[in-house]
Structure 1
Amino acid sequence: MSKPKTYSSMIFLLIGVVIGGLAFSNFYKGPEARAFNASEPAVTATVPPARDKAITSLRDLNNAFVDIAAAVSPTVVTVSTEKVLRFRNRSPFASPFFFDPFGDFFGDSNRRRGQDSPEQQFRQQGLGSGVIVSNDGYILTNNHVIAEADSITIRMTDGRTLPAKVIGTDPKTDIAVIKVNAKNLPAIRLGDSEQLRVGEWVLAIGSPLSADLASTVTQGIVSAKGRSNVGLAQYEDFIQTDAAINPGNSGGALINLDGELVGINTAIATRSGGFQGIGFSVPINMARHVMESLIKNGKVVRGWLGVSIQTVDESLAKGLNLDGPGGVVVSQVVENSPAERAGLQTEDVILALNGRKVKDNSQLSADIAAMAPGSQANLTVLREGRKREIAVTLGEQPANFGVRGFEPSPDELLGFTVETLNNRLAQRYDLDATRRGVVVTNIDAVSSAYRAGLREGDLIVKVNRKSVANVTEFSGMLQNAKKGDTVLLQIARNDGTQFLAFEL
């Protein structure tokens, strides 16, 4: 089976996840921030900004972190979801052409008449985090935290449990907005993620691993900005941090030292399955745009240029006779698109958008999508060795933009890969080498299987109630699987077995 796309061949990303020296000086005071309110966007936040304090000792620094955590933690909630999966077991004798000699003897009327067994239900539970962004109950979280959930509840730090409804979701950025029916809630201030600097201290707050660990606060720095090609979403501009985050942190808050929300914690990169110092957060500027559009329009309205583009790497630069890598090359111009009307051509190299240097195709795609339809995009373009400025009036991105025109394969639907159990894998994952089954050797953290609880190192012994001994049998059992089907696995883990059910 082919491996799913990951950050590298050895690294997979976890959902839920969605993570120097001491400067004895005043904390950096960022630009004025605000809390979000659907009807009155400029409403004052209920959580005041952190006060500037003179740091003259380690205890002063410690107290500053304590004060920020205490002020912001009540705005971060635990998000619990439940999905009901329905499964019907097909009897091998469920056919009018089969005679079941045991049906009459055991009084099984279903088998005797060649019918399926009664429908069974499995409740799949999920855990994540969310951030209250308005005092009337709007909450930001990740799309993968609440995707396809039948019911959603949030638990606040004061112990209250409230039902929540989905206002809107955006899989293209992995952002979702939910709402609870409550007033006078603590609401966090929204910062400006553009003003974040690499090396700046940040706090991560969420509910890692268990609801019992709600309001866990970890500290780190901004390791990098503008991370893309991570493989989590269509539009990526992640903040990278080394603040410790783990499964369950997804949808939680990344906070600067002004006590402002600067990111929504989304995933980690790891080889071990646990935190290894590389976490990713959706910048609040991107999340704010998505949130406001979902609430106002019921969908995300994005700008559209109408071109296919490729990052200009060293090889492309040589092929196009350019001085060096940089920018993106236009490989196709869509007919009757804003780009065609503005005069963009195939082989044009876009170097900058509105004066900002274009790093790669992911960055330009995200920047264009964040602009409003009807706004003007000023492009710096290299054509036949000469730079020129081209102004494009953006259109609205089509609803089916970026949707693939073919059905995903079973491998892609599953989101994980397996190998037949052998001595090497038994030693690697501490499994009983005498057992029969297939071992999960890689799993995509955005897959339904991962959300259902499947992990690397699990030994799959049954698929849809049928024993499986090797990869060939496993592939044969799922070769006709399609999107929407429910898969029931029996796995062995830690000297015990358990069932996991998930929908493709």
Structure 2
Amino acid sequence: MSSKSVGQRIWIFVLSGIIIGLMIGAGLEWTSQSPANQSAPAQQEQAQKTSQVNPEDIAVAEQLSNVFASVADKTNPSVVTIFTETTVSLRQRLPISPFEEFFGEEFFKRFFQQPEGNREYTQRGLGSGVIMRKDGILVTNNHVIRGVDKINVSLLDGREFEARVEGTDSLTDLAVLTIDANDLQPIKLGDSDRSRVGEWVLAIGSPLNPQLQHTVTAGIISARGRSGVGLTTYEDYIQTDAAINPGNSGGALVNLRGELIGINAAIATRTGGNMGIGFAIPVNLVQKVMTDILEKGRVVRGWLGVTIQDIDPEIGKALGLKTTKGVLITQVQEGTPAEKAGLKTEDVIIKVNGDAVNNTTELATRIASTSPGKEVTLTVIRDGKERKITATLGELESGNLPLAQRRSESTYEKVGLQLSNITPGVAQKYNLKEDQRGVVVTAVDPGSLASQAGFRPGDVILKLNRKDVKSVEEFDDMMDDVKEGGNLLFYIQRGEGNLFIAFTKPGK
């Protein structure tokens, strides 16, 4: 037998053995399924169980979602969009050079005559408002309509009306408007004193541009009783993280019962847009201001007749106080409700009607928000001991300056600036040094002259027309001294750098 045939037979036996072995193994089930194949159905079943959401959880979430949608449907028709127009006359001239800053404006006018000319343009603004009564009474922010020539109101159903100003109150940044309509859907009013931190709220308004009218955002009440923000004289804001942007001013902040609890007024921001810190004026204060304007033609405020100041750690230590919360009386005027009630200099007011007061703004707001003739119970610390004193409030008149002061609209407000002196709290908020000089810009009205010129919140005004600025009051006097049509040259600090901004002072 040849070697070739022997090799062939060997290969045949080998292949036959392999085939027989596989057949036997299959018949006897010796080759079982692999672990991967065996666990695949189990893994798939487990994955399905994991991906499934508890139907009860979905039902709860859907209930909350339905509440949001229902509140939006119910309240949106009561929120309006406000369009404003203002004719502004500017005198054009070449940009100010560093040489002009050094030598002075008069030097350049004498030796380097620059071309000038008057130009008029229409400045347009956007805001929001809330329908308070069926017969056409609306509420918005004072800064939305301040100094404008024309106000138009657009409703959710597309109707438009020209609005009239019934009255304004710059001390709370509120304004009451009227439109010729008697079939409006007024918003349901809530009780802002009963609102709670952590409560869900919706903010409704028209942010940024007309294409975004009636935008609804959701959030919670982040804090109550915010003061010292530096926006108005009387501050008692509801803070919320519901998205609020320029154009939302004057819009509604509502709870999940569809009740108005605040009028959106401002935001704290370093970018110019929403950063999750918005402020709304409590509806209880809004109602009082609106009622006073409609029934009395002016806002009537309570008056105590004391001069007060905040308590810093050094003063607190010197007075033997355990905390800096409260308000120190520095003067009691003769013949005032405070003197008649028995209040004294160095008394520290810590509560009004049982509610704590932390600073001068809170106390001024509480007293001013109370009607004249009403009694208030003040808890004070005198000689280290607490005592309660009852005072019957008088009426704040234009001559009654201590504690609360009535003032007309300032010149800087007319060009769209909101300013604050640089207190320790303000310095911390805007990342400024404690010894920072000047005044800080807390807000710039959208579409205003200041906005057109390039002002931003957080800017620090160091000089006006080459003179140092030391306080808001001094700055306002400096602006008043400039004649209409005169040049306003601002030297400001922005971040780590400085720059100039200039425009012509507008007419009344």
Please confirm whether the aligned pair reaches a TM-score higher than 0.5, indicating the same fold. Answer: yes
Q: Report the counterpart of residue 454 of structure 1 in structure 2.
A: 454
Number of equivalent positions: 394
Question: Match of 2:358, as an amino acid?
Answer: K
TM-score normalised by length of structure 1: 0.69
For structure 2, the residue ranges without an aligned partner over 5 or more in a row are 1-54, 95-108, 420-439, 470-474, 489-501
Give CA deviations for 1:278-320 in whole Å, capped at 9, x if unaligned: 0011111111111111111111000000111123343322111
Matches within 5 A, 1:303-342: 303-342=302-341
Q: 437, 443, 446: which one pairs with 1:445?
A: 443
Give CA deviations for 1:375-412 in whole Å, capped at 9, x if unaligned: 11111222222332222111100125455999989999
Question: In structure 1, how many angstroms separate the alpha carbons of the residues matched to 2:252 and 2:220?
Answer: 14
Question: In structure 2, how many angstroms separate the alpha carbons of the residues matched to 1:449 and 1:408?
Answer: 15
Correspondence 1:192 to 2:195: no
Residue 157 of structure 1 contacts residue 215 of structure 1 at CA under 8 Å; is this kept in 2?
yes
For structure 1, the residue ranges without an aligned partner over 5 or more in a row are 1-23, 26-53, 92-97, 103-110, 418-441, 458-470, 490-498
Question: Match of 2:388, as an amino acid?
Answer: E
The verdict on how the C-alpha distance between 1:238 and 1:502 changes in structure 2, with shifts beyond 3 A counting, is farther
Partner SS state of residue 176, structure 1? strand
Correspondence 1:69 to 2:72: yes
Residue 231 of structure 2 contacts residue 442 of structure 2 at CA under 8 Å; is this kept in 1?
no
Q: Report the counterpart of residue 180 of structure 1 in structure 2.
A: 179
Residue 133 of structure 1 contacts residue 139 of structure 1 at CA under 8 Å; is this kept in 2?
yes
Displacement, 1:364? 1.3
Question: Match of 2:252, as an amino acid?
Answer: A
Displacement, 1:323? 3.2
Displacement, 1:486? 5.2
Q: Report the counterpart of residue 214 of structure 1 in structure 2.
A: 213
Q: Report the counterpart of residue 83 of structure 1 in structure 2.
A: 86
Q: Report the counterpart of residue 344 of structure 1 in structure 2.
A: 343
Residue 416 of structure 2 contacts residue 451 of structure 2 at CA under 8 Å; is this kept in 1?
no
The verdict on how the C-alpha distance between 1:410 and 1:67 changes in structure 2, with shifts beyond 3 A counting, is closer
Q: 60, 65, 83: which one pairs with 1:57?
A: 60
Q: Report the counterpart of residue 392 of structure 2 in structure 1.
A: 393
Question: In structure 1, how many angstroms separate the alpha carbons of the residues matched to 2:412 and 2:126?
Answer: 26
Give CA deviations for 1:214-249 in whole Å, capped at 9, x if unaligned: 000000000001110001000001011000010000
Matches within 5 A, 1:276-295: 276-295=275-294
Residue 86 of structure 2 contacts residue 148 of structure 2 at CA under 8 Å; is this kept in 1?
yes
Give CA deviations for 1:326-372 in whole Å, capped at 9, x if unaligned: 32111111222111122211001112212222222211111110111
Displacement, 1:501? 7.5
The verdict on how the C-alpha distance between 1:345 and 1:205 changes in structure 2, with shifts beyond 3 A counting, is same
Residue 122 of structure 1 contacts residue 501 of structure 1 at CA under 8 Å; is this kept in 2?
no
Residue 144 of structure 1 contacts residue 446 of structure 1 at CA under 8 Å; is this kept in 2?
no
Question: In structure 1, how many angstroms separate the alpha carbons of the residues matched to 2:347 and 2:141?
Answer: 36
Partner SS state of residue 382, structure 1? strand
Question: In structure 1, how many angstroms separate the alpha carbons of the residues matched to 2:407 and 2:190?
Answer: 39
Question: In structure 2, how many angstroms separate the alpha carbons of the residues matched to 1:82 and 1:178?
Answer: 16
The verdict on how the C-alpha distance between 1:333 and 1:160 changes in structure 2, with shifts beyond 3 A counting, is same
Residue 124 of structure 1 contacts residue 452 of structure 1 at CA under 8 Å; is this kept in 2?
no
Residue 452 of structure 1 contacts residue 502 of structure 1 at CA under 8 Å; is this kept in 2?
no
Question: In structure 1, how many angstroms separate the alpha carbons of the residues matched to 2:410 and 2:298?
Answer: 25
Displacement, 1:473? 11
TM-score normalised by length of structure 2: 0.68
Question: In structure 2, how many angstroms separate the alpha carbons of the residues matched to 1:376 and 1:197?
Answer: 26
Displacement, 1:485? 3.5
The verdict on how the C-alpha distance between 1:208 and 1:99 changes in structure 2, with shifts beyond 3 A counting, is closer
Question: In structure 2, how many angstroms separate the alpha carbons of the residues matched to 1:144 and 1:182?
Answer: 24
Question: In structure 1, how many angstroms separate the alpha carbons of the residues matched to 2:413 and 2:75?
Answer: 42
Partner SS state of residue 364, structure 2? helix
The verdict on how the C-alpha distance between 1:453 and 1:265 changes in structure 2, with shifts beyond 3 A counting, is farther
Question: Match of 1:454, as an amino acid?
Answer: G
Displacement, 1:86? 2.9
Give CA deviations for 1:397-449 in whole Å, capped at 9, x if unaligned: 012545599998999988499xxxxxxxxxxxxxxxxxxxxxxxx85424654
The verdict on how the C-alpha distance between 1:127 and 1:73 changes in structure 2, with shifts beyond 3 A counting, is same
Matches within 5 A, 1:5-404: 56-87=59-90, 120-399=119-398, 401=401
Q: Report the counterpart of residue 34 of structure 2 in structure 1.
A: none
Question: Match of 1:59, as an amino acid?
Answer: E
Question: Match of 1:233, as an amino acid?
Answer: T
Question: In structure 2, how many angstroms separate the alpha carbons of the residues matched to 1:72 and 1:406?
Answer: 34
Partner SS state of residue 173, structure 1? coil
Question: Match of 1:86, as an amino acid?
Answer: S
Question: In structure 1, how many angstroms separate the alpha carbons of the residues matched to 2:391 and 2:376?
Answer: 5
Question: Match of 2:316, as an amino acid?
Answer: A
The verdict on how the C-alpha distance between 1:69 and 1:135 changes in structure 2, with shifts beyond 3 A counting, is same
Residue 124 of structure 1 contacts residue 501 of structure 1 at CA under 8 Å; is this kept in 2?
no
Question: Match of 1:72, as an amino acid?
Answer: T
The verdict on how the C-alpha distance between 1:486 and 1:140 changes in structure 2, with shifts beyond 3 A counting, is farther
Partner SS state of residue 445, structure 1? strand
Question: Match of 1:123, as an amino acid?
Answer: T
Matches within 5 A, 1:470-481: 475=466
- Relative CO higher for 1 or 2, CA cutoff 8 Å, sep ≥ 6? 1
Give CA deviations for 1:467-493 in whole Å, capped at 9, x if unaligned: xxxx999859x998646735899xxxx
Displacement, 1:252? 0.4
Question: Match of 1:316, as an amino acid?
Answer: I
Computed over aligned residues only, the root mean square deviation of the Cα atoms, in angstroms, reads: 4.2
Question: Match of 1:365, as an amino acid?
Answer: A
Residue 128 of structure 1 contacts residue 251 of structure 1 at CA under 8 Å; is this kept in 2?
yes
The verdict on how the C-alpha distance between 1:500 and 1:123 changes in structure 2, with shifts beyond 3 A counting, is farther
Give CA deviations for 1:139-173 in whole Å, capped at 9, x if unaligned: 01000000011111100111111000001100100
Question: In structure 2, how many angstroms separate the alpha carbons of the residues matched to 1:99 and 1:388?
Answer: 69
Partner SS state of residue 392, structure 1? strand
Residue 454 of structure 1 contacts residue 500 of structure 1 at CA under 8 Å; is this kept in 2?
no
Taking every aligned residue pair, what percent have the same amino acid on both sides? Answer: 45
The verdict on how the C-alpha distance between 1:323 and 1:62 changes in structure 2, with shifts beyond 3 A counting, is closer
Displacement, 1:452? 4.4
Question: Match of 2:73, as an amino acid?
Answer: A
